[in-house]
Amino acid sequence: MIYRTQANLNDVSCDTVRRFTAAFAEAKGHRPGVYVRTFGCQQNEADSERYVGMAEALGYEWVPEPEQADLILYNTCAVREHAELKALSLTGQLKHLKAQNPNRILAICGCMVAQEHRLNDIKNRYPYVDFLFGTGSPEKFPAYLARALTKKGRGFYPDLSYGITEGLPIRRESRFKAWVSIMYGCNNFCTYCVVPYVRGRERSREREAILDEIRALVADGCREITLLGQNVNSYGKGLYEDYGFAELLLDICRIEGDYWIRFMTSHPKDASHKLIDVIAAHSGDDCRPKIVKQFHLPLQSGSDRILKTMNRHYDSASYLSLIEYMKKAIPDIALSTDIIVGFPTETEAEFEDTLRMLETVRYDAFFSFIYSIRRGTPAESMEQVPEDIKRARFARLLETQNRISREKNEDYLGKTERVLVEGRSKTDPNMLTGRNEKNRLVHFVGEDALIGCFASVRILAADTYCLTGELVR
Ligand code: 5AD
Ligand code: SF4
């Protein structure tokens, strides 16, 4: 049984935090600052927006730099060791911020904290961190904060009971792009992956809560909604009899407006023909809203033996038959994927099976990862591939996909693309940057008034990672 609760920001803990922030503002002439840094995936980004939302509702104000903050929160990722080491090293750097201002509250949350060994690591190595909490109960954040503010000692909360809380306040980073979680957790237990251990079992939000949230976003002028879940294709399982992700998409498409619908991530074993048919029917250029013609379908490996060892429940033939169905139903669909190289026991020939799959599918883009040992997962005790071999395979993989991505990007030359303009380019402030429905990055010269709007851009140049063009008036 999943526990479902409604946010309550009027309890005793919340009163405690509000009293603190009011007294602070009275004394200093401004509200205390909250800074949140997010590591990892979009789900974490979405969670962070809720932590900032709760802090704001309790009297804090968001600040862009940790030095300006009276409450610093790091929302961590555990999916690969690299992300963990980065978060730990940055946690080390918090020491001087605490020394500068001992009243500053430091907290670490997220997937790393949900692992006992990491929780103990942080607890022992970073004594100046005030409290730690996992991912299961975000609604308890005000209670943890209240305890830290009243100096009742450090708090350690792995939060391993996983429920769903609706109605938490939220401060979205963008006013025109929004993450909407439709489900949490994962039941798949791929043998390399830590997610089911740190995010709990799969559970879906009730459809009315999701549809209400989207209605409000659309009424506010939101231009892009990304539906989030570890495996959106199993939306509704355990909650509804005959209502799944395809039906949810159909209901969302009834909320009229000029916006794009994206979703991630899908599992190949659960992506259905029905879902692909819904996308095909609602991705025409005149659809408002429009489901984007882009599908992220993690392959992980092209070798059937490795897929079996990974516990993925599909093989290369069934994966390809799904891709074939998609390409037939939506001929100009853009495909992307996740690949892991150097999974334990992977041979050279098996790695080459993956390269062959890249050539066969011809993905528009991919995310590739060197296998990283995760404590407590089955793959931890399998025979590991030496580091130098993993790196050499990774380089070959990148070379292959970069060539394909460049070739696919060159197909855009001379075409006019509808682009959702996101802001100024970080590398060249003369340029605006945005993405087309296929998630290709597009740079062009234009004025700030276009930020947050759709613009038509004729593509004049293409390289591996982005397109450059000119505004079509
Ligand atoms: N090592 C490397 N990559 C991993 N991923 C998940 N676990 C690991 C791991 N232990 C990758 C998968 C997944 C993506 C989000 O992260 O490719 O799809
Ligand atoms: Fe991890 Fe597999 Fe679940 Fe994705 S489907 S989160 S890779 S266990």
Number of C-beta neighbours around residue 119 at 10 A: 19
Question: What does the mean pLDDT of the chain come to?
Answer: 97
CB 143 within 8 A of CB 165: no
More confidently predicted of 427 and 25 = 25
Shortest-distance ligand to the CA of residue 187: 2
Q: For 9, list phi and psi in degrees, rounded to 5.
A: -100, 30
Q: For 290, list phi and psi in degrees, rounded to 5.
A: -130, 125
pLDDT at 117 exceeding the cut of 90: yes
What is the DSSP secondary-structure string of 170-196?
---S-SSEEEEE-EE------TT--HH
* Side-chain-facing half-sphere of 412: CA atoms under 13 Å: 31
Band of the pLDDT at 47, cuts 50, 70, 90? very high
pLDDT at 3 exceeding the cut of 90: no
C-alpha to C-alpha distance for 301 and 465, rounded to whole angstroms: 23
CB 17 within 8 A of CB 149: yes
pLDDT at 98 exceeding the cut of 90: yes
Return the percent helix, strand and coil in the chain, to nearest 5: 40, 20, 40
pLDDT at 2 exceeding the cut of 90: no
Q: How far is the CA of 195 from the centre of ligand 2 (A)?
A: 6
pLDDT digits (tens, 9 = 90+) for 209-240: 999 999 999 999 999 999 999 999 999 999 99
* pLDDT score of 231: 94
Q: What is the pTM of this model?
A: 0.97
Ligand 1 atom closest to the CA of 300, numbered from 1:
17
Task: Give the closest residue to 135 by CA, choosing from 117, 110, 169, 106.
Answer: 110
C-alpha to C-alpha distance for 321 and 144, rounded to whole angstroms: 49
Task: Give the closest residue to 50 by CA, choosing from 177, 179, 163.
Answer: 179
Band of the pLDDT at 68, cuts 50, 70, 90? very high
Q: How far is the CA of 199 from the centre of ligand 1 (A)?
A: 14
Burial of residue 134 (CB within 10 Å: 0-12, 13-18, 19+) is buried
Residues 420-425, mean pLDDT to the nearest whole number: 96
Q: Angle CA(326)–CA(177)–CA(164) in degrees, nearest 5? A: 85
* pLDDT score of 113: 96
Q: How far is the CA of 368 from the centre of ligand 1 (A)?
A: 9
Q: Where are the beta strands (DSSP E) in 253-350?
A: 260-264, 290-291, 294-296, 334-341
C-alpha to C-alpha distance for 270 and 275, rounded to whole angstroms: 10
What is the DSSP secondary-structure string of 72-131?
EEEEE--SSHHHHHHHHHHHHHHHHHHHH-TT-EEEEEETTTTSHHHHHHHHHH-TT--E
Residues 97-114, mean pLDDT to the nearest whole number: 97
Band of the pLDDT at 354, cuts 50, 70, 90? very high
pLDDT at 1 exceeding the cut of 90: no
C-alpha to C-alpha distance for 70 and 175, rounded to whole angstroms: 25
Residues 102-127, mean pLDDT to the nearest whole number: 96
Mutate to test the pocket of ligand 1, among 194, 230, 338 (most ligand atoms within 8 A of CB): 338
Mutate to test the pocket of ligand 1, among 79, 186, 228, 300 (most ligand atoms within 8 A of CB): 79
Instruction: Name the strand (E) or helix (H) holding 58.
Output: none
pLDDT at 401 exceeding the cut of 90: yes
Residues 6+ apart with CB under 8 A from 195: 79, 111, 186, 230
* pLDDT score of 255: 98
Q: How far is the CA of 198 from the centre of ligand 2 (A)?
A: 11
Question: Worst-scoring range by mean pLDDT, 39-53, 67-81, 146-160?
Answer: 146-160
pLDDT digits (tens, 9 = 90+) for 289-346: 999 999 999 999 999 999 999 999 999 999 999 999 999 999 999 999 999 999 999 9
